Amino acid sequence: MGGYAMYKGSDSSVSFGGDGGSGKRGLFLTVPILVALALVFAGSVVAVGLIVHFTAPKCDPHPPPTTAPPATTLTTTAGPTTAPPLVTDVRLPTGVKPLHYTVTLAPYIYGNNASEFYFTGSMKVRLSINESTSNIKLHATKILLTAADIRVYNSTSNKNYTVDSCMYDEDREWYSIDLSVPLPANSTDVVIEIAWFRAPLRSDLRGLYLSSYPENGTTKYLATSHLQPTDARKTFPCFDEPAFKATFDVSLVRRSDYISISNMPSIRTTNVSASTWFSEMTDSEQLVKEDFETTPIMSTYLLAFIVSQFELIRGMDTQGREYRNWARPEFVNQTDYSLDVVRNITEYFEWYFNVPYPLNKTDQAAVPDFNAGAMENWGLIIYREGRLVFNGTRDTSAIKQSIGSVVSHELAHMWFGNLVTPEWWDDIWLNEGFASFVQNIGVNDYHPDWEVDAQFVPTQQRTAFDVDSKGASHPIYLQVYNPSQINEIFDTITYRKGATVLRMLHGFVGDEVFRKGVGNYLRQNSYGNTFHTALYDSLTQQYFESTNKSLDVGSVMDRWINQMGYPVLNCSVSTAARRLTLTQNHFLSDPSQVPSYPSDYNYTWIIPVTMGTKQNLSSGTPEDVSGFVNWMNEKEQSFELDNSADDWYLLNLRSSGFYRVNYDLDNWKRLIDQLVSNHTVFSPQDRARLLDDSFALASAGYLDYSIPLNMTKYLKSETHYVPWSSALSKIGYLHSMLHRQSPEYGPLSAYMRDLLEGAFNDVGLDNKDTDTHLTKLKRGLIVSSACLYRLRSCETAATNKFEEFVNSSFTSTITPDIRRRVLCEGVATSFVAEWDRLFEFSKTVAHPGTQNDIIRSLACTNEPWILNRYLDYALDETKIRGQDLSTVFSSVAANPNGLQIMWDYLQRNWNTIVDKGVGVFTAKYIINNLAEFNSEQKLREMEAFKLQHKDTLGAASVAMDRAIESVRINIGWMERSLLPLVQWLSENSLR
Ligand SMILES: [Zn+2]
């Protein structure tokens, strides 16, 4: 998924922080490559603690086991969990496999009574019987079947196999079908047929579901789908595991004034009897069945179905293949940018992997209700609207970049995930980490001026460093069984650490080995399933062929994939011998934390240490760092240092590795001197890494705060977006710790105003014709920060813009990149009447980015009672859409007065929120906000809350555990770091 299969979160930009309890928030920064600030997710909206059980299956209930089942409790989640034990023996037996399905789906979405919408369908699957058996397990959820609904027969002889019994196993989400005689081994002509089934069609964002949008005063309904990871079974009975690949003939039944699309091109459309499919209809209504071409061999989770009144735009690539973008009529003409991206990057990836795109058409559709960012269904990629629709005058530069990135991400999956699929969900990191890394290779080809590799450092990589520095992190590779566990691992570690580690791999083998090795892997495993070692083996072989040198890629990668965390390299230099001695230690953001997973490698890594000195980097850090790698295999290891004693050395060139470096103190000072005298010697990635490492080391107590803080002084001459982004996110942590109640906040904000004033004067509020993409991103960042730290000129300019906007009755255009901050400044100085007007206006705004900015900025009010009322609104579907609920809570929490208000509200109203059936991902995002507290009192309150609500927190209890851990870390930080910070500020700040 777009991380993105799944990107969730804001439609314009997000505030740094709410990711897995990383404990940094409060600073609204635009984040361009949003590969999922947290937001990756797999489409699950399991009600918190109340997994909505499919009630009363007509098949017999599963009998109680006579012996204890081999189920074990969850082990994938860190820390204690209050979730009930989950069954883990959920894998299908492998003796029966599907070969070819025929599936027809008929969603009833006509009329105005959405509560009565449903879908009907039929399913037929031809099987390959590898082992003789009289029992078949067939996945289904919320589809009621009886033995009489199921026919099993031999398609050659037409002979039936009698179905003796059919039992539904709710825990394993399958029907267990017993036949009177065993099916013969080695046969391929047994067919299961379910001629008719019916299931509810709800706006639950899972399986085939209902979505809607307003058009000319009426509500338009559509049926759309999201099957990853385990909701194909909610759409039709099937063998719903990724390795149970088959071919599919899909048909969709719809009224003739609607359109239907699926993975493959349409073959034909025929009239059908309306009353046959829908009891509400008479045959006078025009109903048609649209048949689609047979798919290639593929996994169930990649199927897609849409019945809607969308319109389309089309384009062709240089090979004459068709690309179509579908959206509601109002938006469809704003999808031309994403159409350009998909055409161009498809052809680029074909070149890059040297494997042709396997289908002959690509559809992309923008749906109004979608819980992920996007989903890579083969041939029909589905996006939330804000990830496909780009409005050149209203959308931010960050949005444009996130659209380019998500389209590229989903396209990468067409090869990596769709053509070659992990055997099981435990390897989903390979899919998602790979797409999250390779998306940048695609975008870089189409937009080289965006410098997406440099932007990787303060976005994806920074988040990976933060989240994986916690004791409650987990290894990338985890065994998972149950759907709850599967959904849980679509997380930051899978996406962002996965991408970061693969970028490191790309860095140490070099681009050519990576490209050819991946291409070989894809060709050798096309239409199949693999385990990650197959990719390592291919790269090991290619490395030898390209370089004539041996490198066991697997033994390196195992250390990074199978153990949690990452190392910090501590440096010491013997001046006389010019030897650099490195010692590696597991880096924890608070040294008192205990890792939640043991390591088979004693937390040591095989590290590709790239090393440069003032001498050999005189012309800058190289693009290709593979020639600068020194392998570190030991806990402690020495290297020759090729420079004079007074000169600096630099490790982790271009931030290509996933490790931090703590230099000896003299070298830190020399690096700072170099930054101040001429920072352009270092690449933007290097500058960002130095800032990020020094702040992280100081925060954990390994380095005096004077080092990172003195380093920030060079920023007065920094003009590049990337180092600014890195610095401001790190300083954002100091802001978040101090701005609510600390007297020390005054000197910090004064220092920040002084630091930012020049950059603010340089960018201003208005776009210029000569602005590059990165300049526009920088404007959003600098304006947001300058106003946050109360730079008067920023506040005045923003408030003036807001007044113009209000005086024009909300019709004047605010430059999109600064819109949220302008609205926030305006709301902060407005009264309730203006708040109400803006809120009412927000409901009429069709542009998703503007609407999202308004929803967020409404939380900038200084009136506590309005914040409380706003939280009430968030629980009222008629006021705030369900998908924006967590945005309201997070935005209120970001207000200096709002975190406490949000927390009080959450404690008072938790049961209401649970009763509302809020999805687990929404609950997690709400709880993540608590990670900013930093006192013992709040810690006790959170622990009490967790205990009190252990039965209803469900999967969100993991988020609560992480938030609690973050608060402990924050408390440690306050004890350790506040004093040195205050001291430095008193010496360096202007009051
Ligand atoms: Zn993905």
The string of pLDDT tens digits covering residues 495-549 is 999 999 999 999 999 999 999 999 999 999 999 999 999 999 999 999 999 999 9
729 alpha carbon – ligand 1 mean position (Å): 25
Residue 600: which domain range? 567-710
Does 485 share its domain with 584? Answer: no
Q: Does residue 168 belong to any structural domain of this protein?
A: no
Which ranges in 713-811 belong to alpha helices (H)? 721-738, 745-763, 773-788, 792-807
Distance 161 CA to ligand 1 centre (A): 41
Looking at the domain assignment, is residue 128 inside a domain? no
pLDDT the model gives residue 372: 84
CA 439 – ligand 1 centroid, Å: 10
Q: What is the pLDDT of residue 226?
A: 97
The mean pLDDT value for 325-354 works out to 96
Same domain, 557 and 687: no
Number of domains in the chain: 2
Residue 990: the pLDDT is 62
**From the CA of 388, how far away is ligand 1's center (Å)?**
15
Q: Is 280 a catalytic residue?
A: no
Query: In 3-state terms, what secondary structure has residue 280?
Result: coil
Residue 893 confidence (pLDDT) above 60: yes
Residue ranges for the binding site?
409, 413, 432
Tell me if 657 sits within 8 A of 610, measured CB to CB.
Answer: yes
Name the phi and psi angles at 740, rounded to 5. Answer: -85, -40
pLDDT tens readout for residues 611-655: 999 888 888 888 899 999 999 999 999 999 888 888 999 999 999
* Measured distance CA(772)–CA(774) in Å, rounded: 5
Rounded (10°) CA dihedral 862, 864, 867, 871: 170
Residue 874 has pLDDT above 80, yes or no: yes
**pLDDT at residue 573 greater than cutoff 70:** yes
Find the mean pLDDT for residues 262-291.
95
Catalytic residue among 290, 410, 825, 932: 410
Q: Rounded to the nearest whole angstrom, what is the distance from the C-alpha of residue 402 to the centroid of ligand 1?
A: 13
589 in the same domain as 542: no
Q: Per the domain annotation, does 63 fall within a domain?
A: no
Count how many Cα atoms sit within 13 Å of the Cα of residue 798 in the half-sphere of its side chain.
31
Q: Binding site for Zn(2+): what residues are annotated?
A: 409, 413, 432
27 in a structural domain: no
DSSP 892: H
Q: What is the whole-number distance in angstroms between the Cα of residue 5 and the centre of ligand 1?
A: 4
In this structure, what CATH number is given to the domain that contains residue 694? Answer: 2.60.40.1910
346 in the same domain as 318: yes
Q: How far is the CA of 417 from the centre of ligand 1 (A)?
A: 9
Residue 44 has pLDDT above 60, yes or no: no
Supply the pLDDT for residue 489. 84
Six token digits for residue 12: 């314009």
- Domain identity same for 683 and 556: no
Domain for residue 109, yes or no? no
Question: How does pLDDT run across 1-15, given as a tens digit for each residue?
Answer: 874 433 333 333 322
More confident: 937 or 373 = 937
Q: Do 630 and 582 lie in a common domain?
A: yes
C-alpha 597 – ligand 1 centre gap (Å): 26
Q: What pLDDT shows up at residue 991?
A: 52
Share of the chain above pLDDT 90, in %: 79
The predicted model gives 734-754 an average pLDDT of 92
Q: Is the pLDDT of residue 20 over 70?
A: no
**Burial zone of 756 (CB within 10 Å; 0-12 exposed, 13-18 middle, 19+ buried):** buried
According to the model, what pLDDT value does residue 266 have?
Answer: 98
- Quick one: pLDDT band at residue 84, thresholds 50, 70, 90? low
Instruction: Tell whether 325 is covered by a domain.
Output: yes
DSSP 179-215: EEEEEPTTEEEEEEEEEEEEEE--SSSSEEEEEEEEE
CA atoms within 13 A on the CB side of 709: 21
Distance CA 274, CA 288 (A): 8
Q: Is the pLDDT of residue 291 over 90?
A: yes
Q: Which of 346, 57, 13, 20 is nearest to 174 (CA)?
A: 57
How many Å lie between the centroid of ligand 1 and the Cα of residue 428?
A: 9
Stretch 695-719: mean pLDDT, rounded? 96
Binning pLDDT at 50, 70 and 90, where does residue 73 land?
very low
- More reliable by pLDDT, 30 or 548: 548
**Residue 324 C-alpha from the chain's centroid:** 25
Measured CA angle at 734 (ends 731, 735), to 5 deg: 90
Select the more confidently predicted residue: 422 or 78: 422
* Cα–ligand 1 centroid distance for 229 (angstroms): 11
Whether 437 maps to a domain, the answer reads yes
168 forms bridges with which residues in the sheet?
Answer: 61, 175
pLDDT computed for residue 79 by the predictor: 34
Q: How far is the CA of 349 from the centre of ligand 1 (A)?
A: 16
- We report the CATH number of the domain holding residue 411 as 1.10.390.10
Q: Is the pLDDT of residue 61 over 80?
A: no
Quickly state the pLDDT bin for 386 (edges 50, 70, 90): confident
In a domain, 766, yes or no: no
Q: Which of 692, 710, 728 is the last residue of a domain?
A: 710
Whether 76 has a pLDDT exceeding 80, the answer reads no
Same domain as 706, residue 578: yes
The percentage of residues in the chain with a pLDDT greater than 70, rounded to a whole number, is: 91
> 398 with 459, same domain?
yes
Point out which residues pair with 713 in neighbouring strands: none
Inform me whether the pLDDT recorded for 62 exceeds 50: no
What letter represents residue 221's amino acid? Y
**655 and 579 in a common domain:** yes
pLDDT tens digits, 436-450: 999 999 999 999 999
509-524 pLDDT, tens per residue? 999 999 999 999 999 9
Q: Which of 657, 677, 710 is where one domain is finished?
A: 710
b/e per residue 881-900 (b: at least 16 CB within 10 A): ebbbbbbbbbbbbbbeebbb
Asked if residue 620 and residue 540 are part of one domain, the reply reads no
How confident is the model over 651-675, as pLDDT tens digits?
999 999 999 999 999 999 999 999 9
Mean pLDDT of all residues in 216-243? 97
Q: Is the pLDDT of residue 419 over 70?
A: yes
Domain boundary among 512, 533, 561: 561
Structure letter (DSSP) for residue 295 = P
Mean of pLDDT values over 254-269: 98
Per the CB < 8 A criterion, the answer to whether 780 and 818 are in contact is yes
Over 90: is that where the pLDDT of 956 sits? no
Could you give the C-alpha distances from 844 to 214, 256, 797, 813, 850, in angstroms and in order? 10, 31, 27, 16, 11
Average per-residue pLDDT for the chain: 89
CA 429 – ligand 1 centroid, Å: 9
C-alpha–C-alpha distance, residues 115 and 250, integer Å: 26
Claim to verify: residue 589 and residue 524 sit in the same structural domain: no
What interhelical angle do 498-509 and 553-561 show, nearest 10?
A: 160
In a shared domain, residues 345 and 327: yes
